[in-house]
Structure 1
Amino acid sequence: YLQCLPAHFMHSVGNLQFYDPVSKILFSGDLGASMGGEDEHLPVQDFDRHIPSMIGFHRRYIASQKVCRLWANMIRDLEVDMIVPQHGKRFEGETMVNRFLDWVSDMECGIDLMTQENYRRPVDYV
């Protein structure tokens, strides 16, 4: 059986993810998604070089660092050999899974990045 896991506010308010305890694969939906990378059918080999293909989406569509940290704490309690987002490269093996969990736990995103500049009237042009 697949386990249905809460991933609320991680791209959508009622987001859910799925974990297969037999294969130890976490199907993470849009969390961990990447765009514009090369060889997207291959797993991440160099995490630091992979960050630029993930960061823009995560900063824009994941609600806050708090939900990322809470989610990562939940995932650390599972035996996960692979995190497979629906877009881009997958994270395979203990090292890459932990790198992703550490990165997402520390990432400022969503409302963490909002300032008054994001909430101002448009300038009237004459």
Structure 2
Amino acid sequence: KLGIHNQIKWFDYKTDDALLEEFQRSMFMVTPYTTSEAGAAVTTAMANAVPVIATRNVGLPEYLGDDGIYINENDPKYLADKMAQLINNNALRQTLSIRLYNRAVKFYSWEVIAQKTLELYKKVLS
């Protein structure tokens, strides 16, 4: 109905390099999880300036904040509508891309994680 079926790719296992290439080619990422978290995949998408469509109930809002597009569980029509929205709205995609990339740098870069880890070790060992 929405004419987006030929723009969707489903993936099995990919090497890290192949996965990175797919992220860099993607318009957005969909994570409709209801019982498991995809934190590593989401932060990788963010670091590659890829907008994310996700459910709210598995911890993903902690990563995405207000910069993710959230969907209802078990509502494929709503998901399709949000996907079509991103496909058809380049300005929204660009805005989310920039905001998610900046969020990734601010909270999830190696430097930030290393500093937080070091602070935790200092606190525990003192």
Please, what TM-score do these two structures have when normalized by structure 2?
Answer: 0.32
- Structure with the larger RCO, 1 or 2 (CA within 8 Å, 6+ apart): 1
Indicate the structure with greater helix content: 2
Please, what TM-score do these two structures have when normalized by structure 1?
Answer: 0.32
